[in-house]
Amino acid sequence: MLTKIREWAGDALLRPDLLCEEADFRTVAEAISCAIFISQGERLHYVNPAAETITGYAREELLSMNFRDLVHPNSRELLLNRGGARQGDAQQQEVKILTKNGGERWLDISTAMIEFDGVLSILASAYDLTERKHAEAEVQLLAVTDPLTGLGNYRRLVEALDAEVKRTGRTGRPFAILLLDLDQLKKINDRYGHLVGSQALCRLADVLRIFCRAIDTATRYGGDEFAVILPETRVAGARLVASRIHSRLATDSLQPPLSASIGVAVYPQDGETMEALLRAADRELYAMKPV
């Protein structure tokens, strides 16, 4: 029933002529949860209570503004690039806005040319998509996240490697990868139990976070194997990071003591494909493994 009411209300709002009088239009607009913005010239001419709720602005404030004033800078170009609609024709798009308190909200907006108060006007009806967008982002994050350590997973590793290969192709600047293997994980599991073994993996993950820059990507891509992608980094810089990771693990006072074998490879000198690069780092890693 609610869906049917919204469908009817949407048709009525986009076609005020379907209602008997302008008062009917305002009655519907004031009652529904869909935000309504009607612009005449460079200013908003009418907004409903739902528009106040979504934006955080009072009606008097909104009526002194242009609808574009609400739009997030990242969405303004998209909004401006949409062609004008003929009277009665609706256009739909998703737009990010900034609320009065600086928050970001996503709106599903339908716009149309209508006659309102005897003047040709632009009507924008908007439904709040923010919760759905957050849920979608959470699902996307979970798809590339290792559930134990919170680092990226193998899928994230492949995505980041592909992005860095393409970046190097554009800029000519190399990048490095560290492959890490937590030493003696089986012995830790056998002696202390798998819970402590899982905690050991998380301890190593925490060390990687400490030494990761914002542009770096740390991942656990399987078992006791980790990888760190270091954009715009040459071999000397990568070995310095590896040395710091070794030192941090060696000075960790928690039990059991941890160590990791680390292999370093730099693109493109150690491999011109992702597979070749990973093999090069893997060879160095296993050459360093304790007997």
Write down the catalytic residue from 224, 252, 270, 282. Answer: 224
Give SS3 for 82. Answer: coil
Smallest CA-to-CA distance from 129 within 100, 93, 102, 101 is with 93
The verdict on whether 162 is a catalytic residue reads no
Tell me which residue of 177, 185, 193, 191 sits closest to 285, measured CA to CA.
177
Each as own residue / partner, the long-range contacts of residues 88-95 (CB below 8 Å, 24 or more positions apart, any chain) are 88/14, 88/15, 88/112, 88/113, 88/114, 89/113, 90/14, 94/129, 95/71, 95/126
SS3 sequence of 156-171: HHHHHHHHHHHHHHHH
Classify residue 102 as exposed, middle or buried by CB count within 10 Å of its CB (0-12, 13-18, 19+). exposed
Q: Which residues are catalytic?
A: 224
